[in-house]
Amino acid sequence: MRFWRKAFVIVWKDIVSEIRTKETISSVLVFAILVIVIFNFAFSANQETMLLVAPGILWVTFAFAGVLSLNRSFIVEKEEHCLEGLMACPISREVIYVGKMLGSLLFMLFIEAIVLPIFALLFNLAVLSPQLITVTFLTTLGFVAVGTLFSALAVNTRAREMVLPILFLPIVTPIIISAVNATGLALSGEPWSSLSSWLAIIVAFDIIFLVVSFLVFTFIIEE
């Protein structure tokens, strides 16, 4: 599978550059924690109301953090003309999409793996259930599936990072709705069966947009 080996080279490049610069993950992480702290002031809730608003807080945080980190994904490529370098490589455009998408997925999952325990600690919630981890993983996959496409689109416009949230947020509304509801059910310790219809929507979104983004990505970085 030469396709995957090439894609993993791009992922590895992103990881190495992140380890050396520590630009994206550290700032997105601080941003995510700030959002959670500010929400705490906005609601100043007690334990009971917290259980009601916690899923919303969590997913607003992840969606905003996602926008921030997805924007970086292609801005760093644009800055030193790295994108031209990538396009000059003897690889198909689809490889670039898969590589960048997996890189963003890893970054997002890494950030979420740190934010979730902090969130649990600050709000005194039982977060680490297999249900919640599944919801988080699947929704993040949906985020990066469309987010990588839109990030590449956004950096090639005049407004750059302004464009990504405007495009990204309305498109991901179905998985945000599903993730918030599924998280609410997971936090109150419901079994898998009660989450199934929400998970089905998230999985459908993931599959559809992984395929469609994979197919149309080539039109975004054509020239």
Partner 1 sequence: MKIKVLLVVSALLMLAALYMVFIYAPTEAEMGNVQRIFYFHVPLAWIAFLAFLVVFIASILYLWKRDKRWDFIASSSAEVGLVFTTLFLITGSIWAKSWWGVWWTWDSRLTSSLVLWLIYLAYFIVRSYIAEDQRRARFAAVVGIIGFIDVPIVALAITLWRTQHPGPVIFEGGLSPEMVGTLLVSIAAFTALYALLLAYRVLMKQDEDELKKLKAQIRG
Selected binder of partner 1 within 141, 198, 199, 210 (CB under 8 A) = 198
Tokens of 80: 């030193």
The distance of closest approach from Cβ of residue 168 to partner 1 in the complex, given in angstroms and rounded to an integer, is 9
Contact map string, positions 169 to 188, toward partner 1, x by CB under 8 A: xxx-xxx-xx--x-------
Q: Which is nearer to partner 1, 17 or 174 (CB)?
A: 174
Residue 74 found at the interface with partner 1 (CB under 8 A)? no
Selected binder of partner 1 within 159, 188, 192, 196 (CB under 8 A) = 159
Residue 17 found at the interface with partner 1 (CB under 8 A)? no
Residue 139 found at the interface with partner 1 (CB under 8 A)? no
DSSP string, the chain: -HHHHHHHHHHHHHHHHHHHH--HHHHHHHHHHHHHHHHHHHH---HHHHHHHHHHHHHHHHHHHHHHHHHHHHHHHHHTTHHHHHHHSSS-HHHHHHHHHHHHHHHHHHHHHHHHHHHHHHHT-----HHHHHHHHHHHHHHHHHHHHHHHHHHTSSSGGGHHHHHHHHHHHHHHHHHHHHHHHHHTT--HHHHHHHHHHHHHHHHHHHHHHHHHHHHHT--
Residue 213 found at the interface with partner 1 (CB under 8 A)? yes
Residues 81-100 contacting partner 1, CB under 8 A: none
Instruction: List b or e across 186-223, with b for residues whose CB sees 16 or more CB atoms inside 10 angstroms.
Output: bbeeeeeeebeebbebbeebbeebbeebbeebeebbee
Selected binder of partner 1 within 102, 141, 163, 199 (CB under 8 A) = 163
Selected binder of partner 1 within 11, 153, 155, 199 (CB under 8 A) = 153
Selected binder of partner 1 within 95, 149, 155, 186 (CB under 8 A) = 149
Q: Which is nearer to partner 1, 132 or 164 (CB)?
A: 164
The distance of closest approach from Cβ of residue 22 to partner 1 in the complex, given in angstroms and rounded to an integer, is 31
Tell me which residues touch partner 1 (CB under 8 A).
146, 149, 153, 156-159, 162-163, 166-167, 169-171, 173-175, 177-178, 181, 197-198, 201, 204-205, 208-209, 212-213, 216, 219-220, 222-223
